[in-house]
Amino acid sequence: MKTVSQFLAFTFLIFFSMLMNAQENLITNTHNRESISLNGTWNYIIDTYETGFYNYRWKEKNENDPEAYWNKPVVNNPSDRREHGYTDANTLQVPGDWNSQDNIFKYYEGTVWYQREFDAPNLEENQRTFLYFGAVNYEAHVYLNGKKLGMHKGGFTPFNFEIPQDLLQEKDNFLVVKVDNKRHPDEIPTVNTDWWNYGGITRDVKLLVMPENFIQQYAVQLEQDQDISSAKRKKKFNIEGSLKLNKEAHAEEITVEIPELKVKEKLIANGDQLDFNFTVKKLELWSTENPKLYEVIFNFKGEILNDKIGFRKIEVSGKDILLNGKKVFLRGICLHEEIPLEARRAKNIADAKKLFGWAQDLNANMVRLAHYPHNEYMTRMADSLGVMVWSEIPVYWTINFKSDSVYNKAEKQLKEMIIRDRNKASVIIWSVGNETPVSESRTNFMRKLVETTKSMDDSRLVSAALEVGYNRNKNYIDDPLGEFTDVISVNEYLGWYGDLPGSKAQSNWDLAYNKPLLISETGAGAKGGYQGKKEQRWTEDFQKWYYEETIKMMKRMPENYSGMMPWILSDFRSPRRNHPKFQDGWNRKGLIDNHGNKKKAFYVLKKYYEDKEQEFE
């Protein structure tokens, strides 16, 4: 018995440390590191039966099995039997979801093998190489020249694997990724979501060229304990930071420079972690009006790493949210990582420009990146445009809150999200989930996520989108999770799910917590171009009416009301939306339709945001 439990404990430990390692090994700020892009055309095999992975006894294939799809299908003799192969006739673009690239993939959920070859770069002595993936949805097994480099789960966060030096060939490295987007009850997200399960290598792939030891992760920010008003008065700001090296260093020098602030700190590293702090004068804080970013330069053993970092303080004071000591109102909008005009995942700078262009047209100063971490182009652009960001993990609806392993998967995605974006001033809220049903196990699960977030990062707020209790004339917000989050955020759909928008006129609100209140969602569906009476559901007029009533109702919200982020910027694909005339596979709550046309409600919200901007100037 003892040995069995010891064995289980040992297995758990190994499993757990594998999970932990994934984030500890994550290399951040890959935009500014030496790399070779592996984007472009890849070959593929659709493998519905997972023949390339399992043998006929459903066991993972032996590494050298010539019929394992990670191995090059070589034919040495005419008598050799090969039953798979990669061909230029079957190609997919990376990055990109597979669903939008060929009709055969439109509804596909399962395994696709991606393959391409690449030549090694000229490496200097001791240089190391890593394969970096911005995101693969959902499960990725990565193989190079027939050897497995690793596996990653989670469709919206980055990961990297080192290539052992003796594995990298000068020419024709055979790179294969098994991608599987099947939904499972015990994964994050689970089987049920209101968005399209786009599969594939959806974000950039790079070969990172790294020195023997390097700065792997870092955080540089305003010290959180200082009183921002007195810091502004005294023109003296404390900045704190931490660094994580890939390997232990022994009395080695690292410099941190911010030339514009005349900062040049010399640090001595012993071990693989290092904390530091210093004081600066004349700091321009990052804000929505002035999204000031400073060039920060790290130098470790002659290797330079640059970043652009904004410094700001976001905090809660009673019922208000303060940015740099000043009360802010979040003129937000929710969005999915999707370009509706092409019914595909967003993936690059041009896409980020399109989405932020729409949000700024609306006069929004904030975006809720729902319901999973979006690509890094989005948060980088938010930093430079001065748009505040809510970033979330896909703990969505009813997941298995009783399972430790499900918790570990959620926590791993949370850590990957934080590590990737912790230096982005624009990110002001980490969200640990959306509309999770109240129960003891759920609240414990979510509370642990909140605590983990706070232990990793004290420089932003933590929230989760909660649900509202509807009650005639008195709606209440008293989810027990609210005790643990910094701000109370609720999704509110009175007038769409239940009743008509007119019912908002009578509704009042009770809030159990004296914390800032955000409306993290509210919205109604409308088919773009469909006009009619306002009582006619699916018309633009119905949606407009809904927004008018919502805005009126907001005036009767408790004083804690600090912003809203209606659902949603544009129509998005969803397998749950099957009305043939009005939906046709699209969630129609967008303020912009899938052809890029603005619906009437867009202008109602825009006007409200213009008024709010003036009020808070």
Nearer to ligand GCB, 434 or 570 (CB): 434
CA distance 598 to 577: 21
Give least dist CB 336 to ligand GCB, A: 9
Q: Does 539 bind ligand GCB (CB under 6 A)?
A: no
Q: Does 453 bind ligand GCB (CB under 6 A)?
A: no
Q: Does 308 bind ligand GCB (CB under 6 A)?
A: no
CA distance 446 to 454: 12
Single-letter residue type at 509: W
x/- letters, 391..430, toward ligand GCB (CB under 6 A): ----------------------------------------
- DSSP tag of 348: S
CA distance 302 to 14: 36
- DSSP tag of 260: G
SS3 554: helix
Nearer to ligand GCB, 194 or 421 (CB): 194
Nearer to ligand GCB, 386 or 566 (CB): 566
Q: How far is CA 447 from CA 442, 459, 511, in A?
A: 8, 18, 20
Residue of 521, 549, 571, 593 that binds ligand GCB (CB under 6 A):
521
Q: Does 197 bind ligand GCB (CB under 6 A)?
A: no
Tokens of residue 296, six digits: 């920060």
Number of residues that bind ligand GCB (CB under 6 A): 9
Nearer to ligand GCB, 321 or 334 (CB): 334
Give least dist CB 570 to ligand GCB, A: 12
Give least dist CB 9 to ligand GCB, A: 38
CA distance 493 to 521: 8
Q: Are 267 and 301 in contact (CB under 8 A)?
A: no
Q: Are 110 and 183 in contact (CB under 8 A)?
A: no
Q: Does 587 bind ligand GCB (CB under 6 A)?
A: yes
Tokens of residue 49, six digits: 């039966």
CA distance 272 to 258: 23
Q: Does 593 bind ligand GCB (CB under 6 A)?
A: no
Give least dist CB 490 to ligand GCB, A: 10
Give least dist CB 442 to ligand GCB, A: 16
Give least dist CB 138 to ligand GCB, A: 18
Q: Does 543 bind ligand GCB (CB under 6 A)?
A: no
Give least dist CB 391 to ligand GCB, A: 15
The DSSP result for 5-74, as a single string, is: HHHHHHHHHHHHHHHHHHHHTPPP-GGGS-EEE--EEEEEEE-TT-TTTB-TTS-BPPTT-TTSTTS---
Q: Which residue is nearest to ligand GCB (CB)?
A: 194
Q: Does 589 bind ligand GCB (CB under 6 A)?
A: yes
Give least dist CB 394 to ligand GCB, A: 10
Tokens of residue 181, six digits: 């987007």
Q: Does 194 bind ligand GCB (CB under 6 A)?
A: yes
- DSSP tag of 200: B
Q: Does 435 bind ligand GCB (CB under 6 A)?
A: yes
CA distance 380 to 344: 21
Beta-carbon neighbour count of residue 471 at 10 Å? 11
Residue of 23, 137, 431, 434 that binds ligand GCB (CB under 6 A):
434
The residue with tokens 């955000």 is 518
Q: Does 457 bind ligand GCB (CB under 6 A)?
A: no
Nearer to ligand GCB, 194 or 351 (CB): 194
CA distance 8 to 3: 8
Give least dist CB 381 to ligand GCB, A: 23
CA distance 511 to 490: 11
Give least dist CB 567 to ligand GCB, A: 5
SS3 99: coil
Give least dist CB 493 to ligand GCB, A: 7
Nearer to ligand GCB, 111 or 193 (CB): 193
Backbone angles phi, psi at 546, to 5 degrees: -55, -45
Looking at residues 327 to 386 of the shown chain, list those that interact with ligand GCB (rule: CB under 6 A).
Answer: 371
Q: Does 463 bind ligand GCB (CB under 6 A)?
A: no
Residue of 190, 453, 491, 560 that binds ligand GCB (CB under 6 A):
491
Nearer to ligand GCB, 133 or 430 (CB): 430
Helices (H) and strands (E) in the chain, counts: 8, 32
Q: Does 178 bind ligand GCB (CB under 6 A)?
A: no
Binding footprint of ligand GCB on the chain (CB under 6 A): 194, 371, 434-435, 491, 521, 567, 587, 589
